Amino acid sequence: PNWTCSWPSTPKMKRDEDMDARVAFQRLKPISTELMDRRNDAQGARKALVAMRDGLLQVPPDGLQVCHELVLFPLHLILEAVLARRMASEKGKEAPGFDDMRCAIHEGVAEEVYACYRAVLECTWCEGREALQQALARTAGVATVCQKSDSEIVRTLGLRCLSALILHLRNSPRSRDLHAYLCEQATAPALGHLLSIPVSYAKSEIHAGSKGSKSVLQIAWSTLQEWLEFVDDPDAIAFFVPGTASGLFLTLQRAGSLGPTTASAGGQAVVEAISALSTLLQVVLADAHCRSALEDLAIQQNAETGLDVVQQLNEIVKVGRQGAQKSAGGVTDLEECDMNKNSESTSLRCVRDRQWSSRTSQKLGDMAKQTVPVLLHHAQASVRGALIKLSTTVLCECTIAFSTCREVFVRCLLILFQDPSEAVARHAQKTLRATMFHSNPCLTTDKIVSSMLQKALTDLPPAGDPDPSCLEENLKLISSCMEALGPEPLISTFFASEDTRSQTLDLLSGCFCLEGNHRAALGTSWQAGHNESASRLQLLGTSFGHVSGISLFEVHQQPLPRFAQGMTYLSNASLYKYAATAVRLLGRAAAAIDRHGSELAGLLGCARRKVVFILEARGPGWQRDAASWFLLINELLYGASTVWNTNKGYGRSAPPDWMPATTDVLISQITQIMELYAQPELLNLPTASNEARGFGFREAADNCIMLRPLLEGVGIFAGCLGPYFADHDARLLPAAICPLVERVADASGLVADSAMISILAVCRHCGYKNPSEMLAKNADYIVDELCKQLREPSAYPQSCKLLTVVLRSQDDTSTMFPLVAEPVRLASLILTPTARQGSKAVSNHALTALLEAMKATVREGKKVQECIKLESEDLLVSADEENNAPVQAPISLDLADSNSESVKEFFNKYHQAKENETGDSVDSNLEACQDLLAKWRKRLENIAAILDTAVETVGPLFASASLSTKVLAMDCALETLYAAKFYDQAIDCIESLAERFTSDHTKDLDMPRRKLLPCLAQLWPDLVQSLNEGQGSSIEMSLRTLLEMVLLSRGTFLARRWIQDAWPACLRLMDCGGHVESAGLLHADYLAVRQRKQDPVSALHVEKVQTHVLSMVDAIATGTSASKVLIPENLGKMVIDLLQYGTLPFSLHVQTQCINTLSKLALVDCAKVVSALKEAASSGEDCCSSAFHNKSASSSELQYISTGSNPDRRASVAKLVLSSLQGPISAQ
């Protein structure tokens, strides 16, 4: 710059008026002098500059205004040196004439110089036009010099000086005159140069890429905005719109395309750029400035197709010479562009007529089409909020100029309508609603929104772009358009007829289509990967907590509807949320426009007809097509209900006219939908592949895909209706509860999860504490449905599974158990020989259900027995208290008038009263017993009925050729015996109570018959047959069942049957392990059979069976029923039979266990065992006399015993056992 100043002379000051000037002069003159003296010392000059800056801030402003030239003179000299050296260094030369200004080399000195200059501008004011020209020239020079610095601080100070110049002008008493002069055509070059400096700064930072400064870029655009607001003259700024707008759009374009490390991507910088652009449009293209020249522009032709943003920038801006001129103006000349063709070549003004405004707004709109959509997805909410401000400016203040390109900014508001930031979304909604249905036709945007909604619907996949980012924006646009239009315009425009309704629903349902990812459809259950049906079933009978590592509380919190895995286009939860929001708004609009529900019924009826057509046609992938419509129906009803507004999210911000449907309307519509959902042909579809029946893996996976939204729809409907869903009059829950419970044990983990989550949703919305309570309160409906299905097992193959789930889920049997006797009887009919041949799979399910029924019977019997026992004890305590009470005489004896006759009469009456009282006590106690029996008789009868059914059913299944069937049958038999034991114990409690009071009235109680002994008698023949014919793994189960029967036996029922039936079968198993077919094989032939077979695997199996038999005998000998079963006659025979297994050819392990078993048998009847052992010992020679005096036999002694002949070996074993029993014998 060409500085035009010299060292000022001492000002003439009046003593009365210029005291402030004197103070300022005295404070600043020494600092200025010191700065000039130390101009070659960088450190000294910097200290002087720091002192000058502090002094400028401390002296009175009026005084500084008088002597500010004193401060500017040294600053200008240093600035000239800095500029000369900078320009010389760019050319590779030395700066001439500045050898005595060496301090200018250091950046630190330059920083302090700029800071002092800024302080001078902020603390002084401009006195006139000439001063204004000088200030403009100086400040422009400072800013130009600072821009070329590598220091971010220096560049920042240069821009701050431009901002300080505005304050310098505003502080002037002649600010209006100066502002008018600045807007004149004569000062246009200077003004243009000032406006170009921030733009030049911004472009430099942008082109620097990652090396650019975000802070400098932000300050550049904020400075430009300040100057635009200060000038606020469309004629003065119009010529410079192309260059200014080019820099602004360049920043916005780079912010959307480059990474976050670049300067242009800085969020605050982008905000400032958008704000500056908004201010530029307000100043130049506001309606107040354009109305006079563009009265008819609001109805012009359609917008032209936009060019690429780079081409538009090149077309708008033709950059001329840049850099500082050393003239007073120092302005960068801007070339003319096509916007300014009507301007004279020497003028920096343009005529703002209709043609200029049209061309300018069109070009700016085209650039906005390329730039604004990119910024809609900026990471920072402040940037998206600034776009709303820009859109507001265009739509509300620049409607005339931008009448042909308003769609860009309407789309911007619609996308931000559902912004993640609540503040941004609320701002966008408020702005857009202000322009909808406005009385001013220039502000109305309803037609634009309607056309955009129509286009967005047609662009949905599969016809539109399936790219997730494009799809997300399109779905946001659809939802926003729907809410912006409101219920009535939305329904009347897009759902007025059946055809338009069908077309729109088809477009929306296309988004929800599911892909055939079959492995994902059959995936594991729960978050932790649990796929055990037992764990899921156990959850039904528990309160909310953790079971088997599964968090029921976490599953309980999952909201419905939810994102479905495996969707073709909605690949993530965010996309699903936006698509679901659009469908929910559609349902809410239909509910709001007609409170009687006709519009909602029309939508759901159309969707229902689509589903029926798909189910009837059953084309390829029909399950997935139906699933997409199920998802759509679920979301429609969810949106129409009140529950949507209670959730966090988009529904909360809906305006008041979006009224939800009434409860009556929802009940009516959900009832019709439930009729569709509850079809048996849908609910009974298999989810496990069965190649033998021609049902493959893909079909099973497609069924899983369809069943998930169908089952989850029940939970959604429960949320829509709340407690009304469980109302028995509506019969909604009864129709759905059985399929839900049945699918909890589904083979597919994902289907089971959907069923469980729906059950939990029903509990949550209908007021049940847990699933067990829900099942208990709807037990009658469940049992009715079970009986209906079990009567036709071929039509309902899943009925037995449902019965299993219901029985397994009930820990508390008081509610459900009294009703299951008939379903259990019907399930047992499936296990008859004729029915089993029809379908083996259904028979296995029926047997499993029967097993669960017997487990529930055990729980019921135990509970009844415990309750009866407690009540009996309470009655006994009450009776004892009454008996111990003192007996009062019913009459009194007057001793004064007593004689022998009166005394005799007195005692006769006394004894008669006492007898009557005792009789009354007996009658009351008997009545208490009868009341107790009557109270529990019904539950005892239910137990007895199920016991009879089970005993008649499971016994013949012991002989089944299927190992799984045999094992299940024996498990069921054991549970039957356990239940019978508790049943008998309950009867015993009542009988004991009656006998405690009086033995004469026991017959009056009509006691039920006991069940344990009849059950044992009925199961015994089938069990013995299974022992005789058993082979392989079934032998172990048969032995366990035999052991439990023996331990549960009462009286001497098994004493004779044990030795006649069971013991020979056990000896057979000891000999051949169940492999030899001949039942008449002698024990002596066993060795020959073993040698002939030479099968090591078979030998191991036989040894295992022998171990199980001996372990069973050990358990019987040490059990409570040993003395009743092992009577002396049986015990002696068993001892003689077992002696042969203590020698060869049996293994050493079997020999050792056999000797231990003989020792345990001695605990039952030691005398009988010793007698049998002595008899066996006396029949052979003594081959191991050295072992007689030992208490136990070692392995070497056993080997020695095994070398003799067979009678001798048995005798040796007998003597060895006798030796070990010397202690017990002597004690006896």
For residue 1104, pLDDT over 70 is answered with: yes
In which band, very low, low, confident or very high, does the pLDDT at 608 lie, cut at 50, 70 and 90? very high
| Rounded distance between C-alpha atoms, residue 856 and residue 1122, angstroms | 29
> Given this model, what pLDDT does residue 1067 score?
86
Contacts of residue 4, Cβ cutoff 8 Å, sequence gap at least 6: 134
In which band, very low, low, confident or very high, does the pLDDT at 881 lie, cut at 50, 70 and 90? low
Span 340-369, mean pLDDT?
A: 72
In 3D space, the residue among 860, 858, 1009, 1008 whose CA is nearest the CA of residue 934 turns out to be: 1008
Span 1081-1103, mean pLDDT?
A: 53
For residue 443, pLDDT over 50 is answered with: yes
Which amino acid is it at 164?
A: A
pLDDT tens digit sequence for 1132-1163: 888 888 888 877 677 888 888 888 888 888 88
1042, 1023 Cβ separation under 8 angstroms:
yes
In which band, very low, low, confident or very high, does the pLDDT at 1205 lie, cut at 50, 70 and 90? very low
> Given this model, what pLDDT does residue 46 score?
83
> Given this model, what pLDDT does residue 1224 score?
52
> Given this model, what pLDDT does residue 509 score?
92
In which band, very low, low, confident or very high, does the pLDDT at 820 lie, cut at 50, 70 and 90? confident
> Given this model, what pLDDT does residue 972 score?
93
Q: In this structure, what are the phi and psi dihedrals at residue 938, rounded to the nearest 5 degrees?
A: -60, -45
| Rounded distance between C-alpha atoms, residue 1103 and residue 1110, angstroms | 11
> Given this model, what pLDDT does residue 531 score?
40
Tokens of 671: 């009832």
pLDDT tens digit sequence for 947-956: 999 999 998 8
331, 190 Cβ separation under 8 angstroms:
yes
> What long-range pairs does 63-66 form, CB within 8 A, spacing at least 24?
63/18, 63/19, 63/20, 63/21, 63/22, 63/23, 63/24, 63/25, 64/24, 64/28, 64/120, 64/123, 64/124, 65/124, 65/125, 66/11, 66/13, 66/18, 66/20, 66/21, 66/24, 66/25
Longest dimension (CA), the chain: 164
For residue 890, pLDDT over 50 is answered with: no
Q: What percent of the chain has pLDDT over 90?
A: 17
689, 697 Cβ separation under 8 angstroms:
yes
DSSP code per residue over 991-1037? HHHHHHH-STTGGGG-PPPP-HHHHHHHHHHHHHHHHHH--TTHHHH
Length of the chain: 1228
Quote the mean pLDDT of the chain: 77
* Paired residues of 915 in beta bridges: none
**E strand residue ranges, 450-557:** 546-547, 550-551
In which band, very low, low, confident or very high, does the pLDDT at 20 lie, cut at 50, 70 and 90? confident
Q: Taken in order 522, 525, 526, 528, is the CA torsion positive or negative? A: negative
What is the number of alpha carbons within 13 Å of residue 78 lying toward its C-beta? 33
> Given this model, what pLDDT does residue 716 score?
95
Tokens of 680: 């048996």
> Given this model, what pLDDT does residue 336 score?
34
Identity of the highest mean pLDDT range in 22-26, 85-89, 351-355: 22-26
For residue 571, pLDDT over 80 is answered with: yes
| Rounded distance between C-alpha atoms, residue 427 and residue 415, angstroms | 12
For residue 613, pLDDT over 70 is answered with: yes
Look at 1228 and 791; give whichever has higher pLDDT: 791
pLDDT tens digit sequence for 180-233: 888 888 888 888 888 899 999 888 888 888 888 888 989 999 999 999 999 988
> Given this model, what pLDDT does residue 16 score?
38
Which amino acid is it at 1140?
A: Q
In 3D space, the residue among 1071, 1162, 1146 whose CA is nearest the CA of residue 1113 turns out to be: 1162
Helix (H, G, I), strand (E, B) or coil at 567: strand
| Rounded distance between C-alpha atoms, residue 1075 and residue 1196, angstroms | 31
> Given this model, what pLDDT does residue 341 score?
43
For residue 1210, pLDDT over 80 is answered with: no
> Is beta strand 546-547 parallel, antiparallel or unpaired with respect to 550-551?
antiparallel
What percentage of the chain's residues is helix, strand, coil (to nearest 5)? 70, 0, 30
Span 977-1000, mean pLDDT?
A: 81
Alpha helices (H) along 662-798:
663-677, 680-683, 697-721, 732-743, 749-766, 771-777, 779-790
Span 632-648, mean pLDDT?
A: 84
Q: Of the ranges 15-29, 315-329, 388-402, 439-453, which one carries the lowest mean pLDDT score?
A: 315-329
For residue 465, pLDDT over 80 is answered with: no
Q: Of the ranges 275-289, 313-327, 594-608, 823-837, which one carries the lowest mean pLDDT score?
A: 313-327
Using the 8-state DSSP alphabet, how is residue 1143 labeled? Answer: S
pLDDT tens digit sequence for 409-430: 999 999 998 888 989 998 998 8
* Paired residues of 546 in beta bridges: 551
> Given this model, what pLDDT does residue 1167 score?
83
pLDDT tens digit sequence for 494-530: 887 888 899 999 999 999 998 876 555 555 443 333 3
563, 569 Cβ separation under 8 angstroms:
no
* CA 312 distance to own-chain centroid: 48
Span 372-394, mean pLDDT?
A: 89
Span 286-308, mean pLDDT?
A: 48
| Rounded distance between C-alpha atoms, residue 625 and residue 55, angstroms | 81
Span 852-869, mean pLDDT?
A: 89
Whether residue 96 has a cis bond before it, omega within 30° of 0? no
Look at 465 and 49; give whichever has higher pLDDT: 49
**Which position has the token pair 């000086």?**
161
For residue 1098, pLDDT over 80 is answered with: no
| Rounded distance between C-alpha atoms, residue 1142 and residue 589, angstroms | 89
Look at 700 and 1203; give whichever has higher pLDDT: 700
Q: Of the ranges 393-397, 688-692, 1179-1183, which one carries the lowest mean pLDDT score?
A: 1179-1183
Q: In this structure, what are the phi and psi dihedrals at residue 285, rounded to the nearest 5 degrees?
A: -115, 20
pLDDT tens digit sequence for 22-63: 888 888 888 888 888 877 777 888 888 888 888 888 888 888
In which band, very low, low, confident or very high, does the pLDDT at 548 lie, cut at 50, 70 and 90? very low
Using the 8-state DSSP alphabet, how is residue 128 labeled? Answer: S
* Paired residues of 332 in beta bridges: none
Q: In this structure, what are the phi and psi dihedrals at residue 547, rounded to the nearest 5 degrees?
A: -135, 125
Tokens of 459: 């662009």
| Rounded distance between C-alpha atoms, residue 284 and residue 277, angstroms | 11
> Given this model, what pLDDT does residue 312 score?
33
What distances in angstroms separate CA 972 from CA 65, 817, 951, one per listed residue?
A: 109, 17, 9
Q: Please tell me the pTM assigned to this model.
A: 0.71
Look at 437 and 978; give whichever has higher pLDDT: 978
